[in-house]
Amino acid sequence: MAKKLAVIGAGLMGSGIAQVSAQAGWDVVLRDVTDEALARGKGGIEASYEKFVAKGKLAAADAEQALARITTTTDLEAAADADIVVEAVFERIDVKREIFQTLDKLVKEEAVLASNTSAIPITKIAAATSRPERVVGTHFFSPVPMMQLCELVRGYKTSDETLATAREFAESVGKTCVVVNRDVAGFVTTRLISALVVEAAKLYESGVASAEDIDTACKLGFGHAMGPLATADLTGIDILLHATDNIYTESQDEKFAPPEIMRRMVDAGDIGRKSGQGFYEH
């Protein structure tokens, strides 16, 4: 099986994908635009491995070997000999298309180009390349080392072979896959959570119930591990706003139109856990 992976973007998602892949035996090159971003990403991976070792879930020698399989670089050309490339940069179509355009000219013919997007149609990203049949969505979930799911997304021209390679990769790093056969904006999971968060935010905004009670209703009534507003705080209200905006723009379906309160909170910088304030105080 292919063993060389390139991950483009060393943020929370990219470093998480690099971490689980190196642990599963892949040789990983992790690329970002600055040395600072790479140092943060690699530091996060080290800290995560240390936690797993401390909890007895990973042997210290295995953690050391996994870390040794990760190299970092600011050079996109380091992806040239990768069997699979996973892009995990900011959710903006122009940024992603530019990266895929460059990768298309760099990587070998049989390489699979994957995007970790949660809401942007794969077909739009694939159209920036001369090999749309080799482009696929591999939507991992945060935090990647803990979350079991990987949403595999077919673009309009994604081949069966590409999908099978993506599944083999995701399963090799310990994930369970679901397949999205048509790359509607938001796929399956982001559409579901966006619809739920938008409705929960509207109920909260109009004073129907408190954030705590809305979340408790979802946890105890539906068996959710975390309520939608707590999820929004964890993910980042800015990120969810961006995702729901993408889906709404693409679908023109009113249920995805973000309520005014989400925009106000983002404007004010109250974007959840990372800012200390969202629907809850952190």
What is the DSSP track for the chain? ---EEEEE--SHHHHHHHHHHHHTT-EEEEE-SSHHHHHHHHHHHHHHHHHHHHTTSS-HHHHHHHHHTEEEES-GGGGTT-SEEEE---S-HHHHHHHHHHHHHHS-TT-EEEE--SSS-HHHHHTTSS-GGGEEEEEE-SSTTT--EEEEEE-TT--HHHHHHHHHHHHHTT-EEEEESS--TTTTHHHHHHHHHHHHHHHHHTTSS-HHHHHHHHHHHH--SS-HHHHHHHH-HHHHHHHHHHHHHHH--GGGS--HHHHHHHHHT--BGGGTBSSSB-
State the average pLDDT over residues 110-124: 93
Residue 51 pLDDT: 96
CA–CA distance from 42 to each of 14, 116, 195 (Å)? Answer: 10, 19, 34
Q: Is the dihedral of CA 187, 189, 195, 198 positive or negative?
A: negative
Q: What is the pLDDT of residue 276?
A: 96
pLDDT of residue 237: 96
The answer on pLDDT for 212 being more than 80 is: yes
Note whether 128 and 92 are within 8 A (CB).
no
pTM across the whole model: 0.90
Q: How many CB atoms lie within 10 A of CB 280?
A: 16
Mean pLDDT of 205-234: 97
Give the mean model confidence (pLDDT) for residues 41-65: 97
Is the pLDDT score of 1 beyond 80? no
What is the per-residue pLDDT for 71?
97
Mean pLDDT over 241-270 rounds to 94
- Higher-pLDDT residue of 236 and 142 is 236
Banded model confidence at residue 119, pLDDT cuts 50, 70, 90:
confident
The pLDDT score that the predictor gives to residue 91 is 84
Q: How confident is the model at residue 250 (pLDDT cuts 50, 70, 90)?
A: confident
pLDDT tens readout for residues 136-186: 999 999 899 999 999 999 999 999 999 999 999 999 999 999 999 999 988
Rg (CA), the chain: 19
Predicted pLDDT of residue 141: 92
Question: Can you list the domains of the chain with their CATH numbers?
Answer: 4-180 (3.40.50.720), 190-273 (1.10.1040.10)
Mean pLDDT, to the nearest integer, of 113-119? 92
